[in-house]
Amino acid sequence: MRILYSHRIRSRDGQGVHLDAMVAALRAAGHEVRVTGPAGYDKAALGGESRGLARLRRLLPAWAQALAEIGYAVPATWRLHRAAAAFRPDVIYERANLYHVAGRIVARTHGVPLLLEVNAPLAEERAKFGGLGLPRLSAWIERFAWRGAQRVLPVTEVLAGRVAAAGVPAARITVVPNGIDLAEFPEAVATPVRDTLVLGFVGFVRDWHGLDKALHGIAAWRGERALSLVVVGDGPARPGLERLARDLGIADRVHFTGLAAREEIPALVAGFDIALQPAAVPYASPLKVFEYMAAARAIVAPDQANLREVLRDGETALLFDPSEAGGFWGAVARLAQDDGLRARLGTAARAEVVSRDLTWAGNARRVVAIAEAERAALRPDGAPAKLPRRSLA
């Protein structure tokens, strides 16, 4: 199958991991994939953001930023149109981004199906966390993009509910969560007994992740074995956490690796005794959870609907009530005192990945099956064969 992969991302972060992993899995399965997106993506450094985009956000008010991003849809759509004309794809697979409507327009023009991967309700997310200009228009454009796809692929059932509420029929929504490449995470051996247990976290570090609770817990810990924290990543919360560690007198037990290359992650996660997901937005499919599971680590995570889609309390993780002040640390303390429970949870977590095929290769197979079904359903003019016109409005 010839797949034209459309995106609008510029940074090498979790978005880039998902993009690169899916493209690699599709190609490994024998499909021809052409990737079309901003030119700067291929040259972006790990964790880096486009300098031009960062400058734009500093200099322009929110409403002007929104207009500039909307304006970028014109060259993005033209670039995708030219790629489609040259490549003649069987399907367009697009990673949804705010104001990115190229897939809807080009797929209709060229008479091919559009599969739209949705990782977050971005208009809502940016309004809440990053500031958003022209919120009503921004939300309308996002709904316009979602409704124009032959199939929308949200990463969680929770997010699928948001997509359905925006007017996309349930029959056109299929959940495809994040995944992992098990070849990068060979069968883990038991962590050797050591004097200090390692708590670990992977990802971009923000204040809302709640890692300060881990620091306070370590400082107050009086268990038989000492505890330390390894944070694989960087982010705006790091300076505050480092200051807090010094103030609590535990700076020697808190280590930030900084940004780590993708190939370094498996070995770093394998060094954790307890893997932490202290907080998560309610609709996400956190990549780190799949990394922890593949590495057979004992996981502590909040008990919320999107995480229960992949984790089971007491079976593949310990889930805590995020509304309880001591819930997170209570779960950590329980695992710190029970070697057998840590081993059982870790083994079961990896087995879950295998049994449910929560892998990029599995996702590629699912996406191709969907693409083939949608190709078969298209009329000769490229319009959906069984859906009312208004559903694409």
Instruction: Report residue 22 CA to chain centroid gap.
Output: 12
- Shared domain check, 198 and 224: yes
- Rounded average pLDDT over 18-32: 97
Pairwise CA distance, residues 91 & 82, whole Å: 15
Instruction: Specify the pLDDT at position 386.
Output: 46
Q: Which of 283, 284, 314, 285 is nearest to 300 (CA)?
A: 314
Instruction: Specify the pLDDT at position 390.
Output: 31
pLDDT-based confidence at residue 392 (cuts at 50, 70, 90): very low
What are 135's two structure tokens? 């919120």
What are 207's two structure tokens? 């204040």
- Shared domain check, 52 and 83: yes
For residue 128, the domain's CATH number is 3.40.50.2000
Give the 3-state secondary structure of residue 29.
Answer: coil
pLDDT-based confidence at residue 378 (cuts at 50, 70, 90): confident
177-228: pLDDT as tens digits: 999 999 999 876 566 667 899 999 999 999 999 999 999 999 999 999 999 9
Instruction: Specify the pLDDT at position 13.
Output: 74
- Whether 56 has a pLDDT exceeding 90, the answer reads no
- Shared domain check, 337 and 205: yes
Q: Which domain holds residue 22?
A: 2-179+359-392
Non-local CB neighbours of 248 within 8 Å, separated by 6+ positions: 215, 216, 218, 219
- Shared domain check, 172 and 199: no
Instruction: Report residue 241 CA to chain centroid gap.
Output: 24
Q: Which of 165, 182, 209 is nearest to 21 (CA)?
A: 182
Residue labelled with tokens 């089971």: 312
pLDDT-based confidence at residue 302 (cuts at 50, 70, 90): very high
Pairwise CA distance, residues 316 & 294, whole Å: 11
- Whether 391 has a pLDDT exceeding 50, the answer reads no
- Shared domain check, 228 and 216: yes
Alpha helix positions (H), 221-304: 238-248, 265-270, 287-294
- Shared domain check, 298 and 378: no
- Shared domain check, 165 and 149: yes
Per-residue CA distances from 199 to 144, 269, 342 (Å): 43, 10, 12
Instruction: Specify the pLDDT at position 151.
Output: 98
List for the chain the helix, strand, coil content (%; round to 5): 50, 15, 35
Torsion sign, CA atoms 309, 313, 319, 322: positive
- Shared domain check, 153 and 10: yes
- Shared domain check, 331 and 189: yes
69-108: pLDDT as tens digits: 999 999 999 999 999 999 999 999 999 999 999 999 999 9
DSSP readout, 358-381? -SHHHHHHHHHHHHHHHHHHB-TT
Instruction: Specify the pLDDT at position 55.
Output: 65
Dihedral angle, C-alpha 54, 56, 58, 63, nearest 10 °? -130
Mean pLDDT, the chain, integer: 91
What are 329's two structure tokens? 């640390």
Q: What is the pTM of this model?
A: 0.91
Number of folded domains in the chain?
2
Give the range among 58-67, 219-228, 301-310, 348-357 with minimum mean pLDDT: 58-67
114-171: pLDDT as tens digits: 999 999 999 999 998 777 889 999 999 999 999 999 999 999 999 999 999 999 999 9
Q: Which of 122, 12, 117 is nearest to 69 (CA)?
A: 122
pLDDT-based confidence at residue 388 (cuts at 50, 70, 90): very low
- Shared domain check, 218 and 169: no
The CA angle 244-250-254, to the nearest 5 degrees, is: 80
- Shared domain check, 9 and 145: yes
Q: Which of 293, 373, 377, 286 is nearest to 15 (CA)?
A: 286
- Shared domain check, 233 and 142: no
Residue 366 or 14, more confident: 366
Residue labelled with tokens 């810990």: 221
Instruction: Specify the pLDDT at position 49.
Output: 54
pLDDT-based confidence at residue 43 (cuts at 50, 70, 90): low
What are 214's two structure tokens? 């881990």
Q: Which of 93, 101, 110 is nearest to 25 (CA)?
A: 93
